[in-house]
Amino acid sequence: MKNNLQRVSLFASTCVFVLCFTTANAIEPSGSRWSQWRGPDRDGLIADAKWPGGLKDHLTLAWEHKLGPSYSGPVVADNRVFTTETVDKKYERVTAFSLDDGKELWTAEWEGSMAVPFFAASNGDWIRSTPACDPGHLVVAGMRDVMVCLEPSTGKELWRLDMPKQLGTPLQAFGCVCSPIIESGAVYMQSGGGLLKLELDTGKVVWQVLNGSGDMMTGGAFSSPIISTIGGQKQLVVATREELVGIDLTDGKTLWNEPIESFRGMNILTPVMVGEKVFSSAHSGRSRLFEIGVNDAGAISPSQVWENKAQAYMSTPITIGDSLYMHMKNERFVCIDLKTGEERWTSTTFGKYWSMVGNVTAKQILALDSDGTLRLIAADPKELRIIDEMKVADDSWAHLAVDGNRVIVRALDSIVVYDWR
């Protein structure tokens, strides 16, 4: 009897050890869901996750669903993943899936597709904007500047704003690209009619500034805004087709602005904050870091800290430590010293577009190439070190999402969820 009790005790201790070991080697939750464009803080970074040491031996398929085309990134809230699609070149649809097993929970759709100019057709004419979600609202922007707010738990429509019809604003020639941001009961969004602040609960327009035009080369927006505190003032940092602008959240007043050189207004990157400095780069322009200073009179004005010849295109970079990592227009990957602006290293060519998630703690980067190759890369300022890579899709221009131990890939024709342990 004594021996049996010893064996039971040894077995129980072993189980506890195995359970603790398994838990310790799983990814720790980030603390915030991937509920908007570029993640919890809109900077593409996760601060407190423990990632496995590779991809091929650690990444396993959890579930997938075939869908219509989309460049819109998936978002996660309340153990649901939300994704968009364009259906039959006529409708835009949002679907909620259970994050655990992929069960379809609800769908909502509306008419809203459009054709882009022929010279941009190679990049598709399907929905692009990534939704934004808080506990009671899922805000989705369609190609024709139609914003729809849905109840995340049921898909019930709470409000809709058709900007061209209700506000008389011009339709964007390339379709809506900006991803909305939710902050303190309001939604901020760049559209064909400029930058808008809406009441989150009603969709009512609070203010409208930086009014756009119907001009193909200057109207509308390709970028998505962020919110940052500069000089003690919380503000929107916005990239229009022609300039960087700081906007007062309360009244929409312009606090500062800086012209940005780009080809045909292709100022696409989301502004990247480096403390109270702002990084910007554009197609056929330059990489530039600005200090946003406040003078004795309290006026805010930008001054250039450095510039670099590196030219971005569509891939917004991430910062880890004192380095900025950016996929460029020439399809190379570059590491830039944030203090001096000097290139630390430059790679050979990859695909046309990368979406990236950076792990600040582990100093690693997950990069999803537009050709569907997922790479785990060391954030090493001395050299490019690819730790592992794995094919996860055939074509993916939507932003990668990472939530806990789940890696969520929105391929052009499907949504694919992987367990990463």
What order of strands is seen across the sheet that includes strand 59-66? 59-66, 414-420, 406-411, 401-403
Q: What is the mean pLDDT of the chain?
A: 91
For the cut 80, the answer to whether the pLDDT of residue 15 exceeds it is: no
Output the pLDDT for position 86. 97
For the cut 60, the answer to whether the pLDDT of residue 107 exceeds it is: yes
Structure tokens, 181: 């941001």
Name the residue with tokens 């008389």.
168
Output the pLDDT for position 18. 39
Q: Please state the rounded mean pLDDT for residues 380-408.
A: 97
Residue limits of CATH 2.40.10 in the chain: 227-267+269-313
Contact between residue 411 and residue 399 where contact means Cβ atoms under 8 Å apart: no
For the cut 90, the answer to whether the pLDDT of residue 398 exceeds it is: yes
How far is Cα 213 from Cα 387, in angstroms, rounded to an integer? 46
For the cut 80, the answer to whether the pLDDT of residue 41 exceeds it is: yes
How far is Cα 297 from Cα 305, in angstroms, rounded to an integer? 22
Q: What is the pTM of this model?
A: 0.91
* Matching CATH number, 44-69+316-352+354-396+398-421, of 3.90.1300.10, 2.130.10.10, 2.40.50.320, 1.10.730.10: 2.130.10.10
Output the pLDDT for position 32. 55
Q: What is the pLDDT of residues 111-133, one digit of tens each?
A: 998 888 877 777 788 999 999 99
Q: Please state the rounded mean pLDDT for residues 328-354.
A: 97
Q: Which amino acid is at 376?
A: L
Q: Please state the rounded mean pLDDT for residues 385-396.
A: 97
pLDDT, greater one: 137 or 298: 137
How far is Cα 322 from Cα 185, in angstroms, rounded to an integer? 34
C-alpha separations of 162 from 171, 181, 202 in Å: 10, 18, 13
Residues 227-267+269-313, CATH architecture = Beta Barrel (2.40)
Residue limits of CATH 2.130.10.10 in the chain: 44-69+316-352+354-396+398-421
Output the pLDDT for position 182. 98
Output the pLDDT for position 168. 95
Q: Which of 31-45, 105-119, 369-383 has the highest mean pLDDT?
A: 369-383
Q: Please state the rounded mean pLDDT for residues 157-186.
A: 96
How far is Cα 270 from Cα 225, in angstroms, rounded to an integer? 6
Q: What is the pLDDT of residues 202-249, one digit of tens each?
A: 999 999 999 877 777 788 899 999 999 998 899 999 999 999 999 999
How far is Cα 113 from Cα 179, in angstroms, rounded to an integer? 17
Map residue 164 onto helix, strand or coil.
helix
Q: What are phi and psi of 362, to 5 degrees?
A: -85, -10
Structure tokens, 396: 């993916």
Q: Please state the rounded mean pLDDT for residues 146-156.
A: 98
- Write out the H or E segment, with its range, that includes residue 16: helix 2-24
